[in-house]
A and B are shown apart, each in its own frame.
Chain A
Amino acid sequence: MSCKLIFSWVQRQAKMFFFCIMLFVAHLKRTLVLSLILSEEKVTVYFINRDGRKITTSSAKGDSLLDLVVEQNLDIEGFGACEGTLACSTCHVILDQKVYNQLGPITDEENDMLDLAFGLTDTSRLGCQVCLSRDLEGITVRVPDRVNDMRRSDDTGPTL
């Protein structure tokens, strides 16, 4: 265990060193710099949009699913209105059971906002709270439909 810790510490120091070097090379485009440092750290994610279409994307390790959607400018209507601050439920996504189980515990604050999401499932999360790691390589993320008419007839809803 401690060998792994030391090794990852060394890895991190090396990465920081390289990152500092890159900062001095300021004329390089941001994306080029990042992809040089992090090219082994990209995680591939498949989105299934509301219209059923599959979108293949990849993003840097550590990015949230919302970061990914924003960076890649994915065409998902109304996604991430509060910009990842746990003040809405528009980044609601549905994961596979196995992936859902892999993720850490959900905070009260995230659960509170998930309560407002339309079509909440047992494997729902807010995309802004799901951070990509190598373990999540190749996952499929489904973007569910939203409420689009009439007040909620099930007793789940906020009135204001």
Chain B
Amino acid sequence: CPGLSHVNVQVDIYERLPVPFGLVRFGVAPDHPEVKNVINTFTQTAQHARCSFHGNVRVGKDVTVEELQEAYHAVVLSYGAEGNRTMGVPGEDLAGVYSAKDFVGWYNGLPRNSELRPDLSCETAVILGQGNVALDVARILLSPVDILKKTDITQHALDALAESSVRRVLIVGRRGPLQVACTIKELREMVNLPGTRPEMEASEFEGIAETLKSLARPRKRLTELLLKAAIETPGEEELERRNRAERAWGFRFLRKPLEVLPSTDLIRAAGIRLAVNRLEGDGEGVRAVATGEVEDVECGLVISSIGYKSLLIDPAVPFDARKAIIPNTMGRVQQTAGLYCSGWVKRGPTGVIATTMNDSFDTARTLLQDIGKGTLDVSTVKPGSQGVSALLEKRGVKPVSFSDWEKIDSEETRRGEIKGKPREKMLDVGEMLQVARA
């Protein structure tokens, strides 16, 4: 960037939990450790001389965004989407109904979900949504425990899954096979999941094979694999494997939740009522339209995986409640000089790590451009973390540094090693702080 060679940017990162990395730690499935390799890049950045991490600080409570803006030349909001879209149907509050966000948080050790204790004593689980998160949940529910026990899945989840009675998982979507939002890697993992077989209705795939030749490569390969699993007659070996499989999974299409049906004692979920849809339009404009028909499916576990949602962090920050994002132009928060945003809170909660990483690079470029052009005034001296530390100390808040996190990291790794796992995550913030201060 022209004119920036004299600017040495200091970056301070504020995070609510004592531990960094967000969804890379709490969202990526335990059996996808390679996806977490990006932590090494993050660690290098955090250890840079001009970068410092301040964990255990709640922005919006322990320190306001306005106070941060007074202390820093620029503030970048990249706090993601910690809420979830609700189905908005009766029975959503029954026992046995969970958001995928909470279920994933439970098996991934997110402290606020440590007490979830989902009831896995039923035979059938229904997942609403057909994105990669839905497939992660299905795969964790059906994976052989021998595979899971070597991952960083939390011990309590491992124990619960070892006792689980769930044998059948339905992954339900509003639209058709050509609209599934998952990607092929995750679908292939389901198809190849040991001890399981696919079970789908051939009628839901009518007309799909004919569309293959007009599809773009990624959608074409995905649909081919889906068709193969759903309707192709398997070879002898595969047929035998399926006959031996004790667990089953399948997509169901053109179904939208109307109500979670209660058990006779009205306490827990016993089934789900689904509206049957048909598709109208084509290409990008395909829409699901109710037919009026209704279908009930017996199940004891309902997991809604229909999307995450960003929340308001501080009343001083503009927020578009309808889109659930911070209104911005290329990362510059509207009507607020010196305030930027990146990632899901800027664009909405979709995209893989690489997508969000690229978006962060874009916001950073915007910010540097503003410094270069003089739109962002960096001529005055700002107190930075010294100013914020003073406020936090007054309020009795003790931040966790990156080297404090490294103590937590070592301890988790040590505990995991004993069990043959990459780590055993701490579930309690108090315990994390104890280890951090030791």
Contacts and interface: CB of A to CB of B under 8 A. Distances in A.
Contact of B184 (A112, A146, A147, A151): A112
A83 B132 contact: no
B204 to A, nearest CB: 19
A159 B351 contact: yes
Given A155-B215, A158-B183, A160-B132, A108 B188 contact: yes
Nearest to A149: B362
Interface of B is mostly: helix
A155 B38 CA distance: 27
Interface stretch (A15-23, A36-44, A51-59, A113-121): A113-121
Contact of B34 (A85, A89, A153, A158): A85
A115 B353 contact: no
B92 interface: no
Interface stretch (B216-224, B261-269, B287-295): B216-224
Given A112-B188, A116-B352, A158 B181 contact: yes
B131 A155 contact: no
Contacts of A116: 183, 218, 352, 354
B221 A115 contact: yes
B185 interface: yes
Contact of B350 (A77, A113, A153, A159): A159
Nearest to B32: A87
Given A82-B37, A85-B37, A147-B355, A155 B219 contact: yes
Given A77-B361, A82-B37, A111-B221, A160 B354 contact: no
B140 to A, nearest CB: 15
B133 interface: yes
B181 A160 contact: yes
B260 to A, nearest CB: 24
Contacts of A150: 347
A90 B34 contact: no
B1 to A, nearest CB: 12
Contacts of A115: 183-184, 217-218, 221-222
A88 interface: yes
B34 A82 contact: yes
B84 to A, nearest CB: 12
A37 to B, nearest CB: 28
B362 A89 contact: no
Contacts of A159: 131-132, 181, 350-351
Contacts of A82: 34-35, 37-38
B243 interface: no
A160 B350 contact: yes
A86 B35 CA distance: 9
Contacts of B216: 154-156
Contacts of B184: 112, 115
Interface in B356-378: 357-359, 361-362
A138 interface: no
A105 interface: no
B284 interface: yes
A147 B219 contact: no
Contacts of A104: none
A155 B284 contact: yes
A81 B38 contact: yes
Contacts of A108: 188
Interface in B119-161: 131-133
A148 B362 contact: yes
A51 B379 CA distance: 30
Q: Which of B38, B41, B215, B359 counts the most A-chain CB atoms under 10 A from its CB?
A: B38
Given A154-B216, A160-B352, A83 B358 contact: no
Nearest to A113: B185
B361 A83 contact: no
A157 interface: yes
A146 B358 contact: yes
B133 A83 contact: no
Interface of B: 32, 34-35, 37-38, 40-41, 131-133, 181-185, 188, 215-219, 221-222, 283-284, 330, 347-355, 357-359, 361-362
The 4 residue pairs across chains A and B that have the minimum distance between CB atoms: A85-B34, A115-B218, A87-B34, A158-B183
21 contacts: A77-B361, A81-B38, A81-B353, A88-B35, A88-B38, A88-B354, A90-B357, A112-B183, A112-B188, A116-B218, A120-B218, A146-B354, A149-B330, A149-B362, A151-B350, A155-B215, A156-B218, A158-B132, A158-B183, A159-B132, A160-B352
Given A89-B354, A149-B330, A160-B133, 5 more contacts: A78-B357, A112-B183, A112-B221, A113-B185, A160-B132
Interface of A: 77-78, 81-83, 85-90, 108-109, 111-113, 115-116, 120, 146-151, 153-160
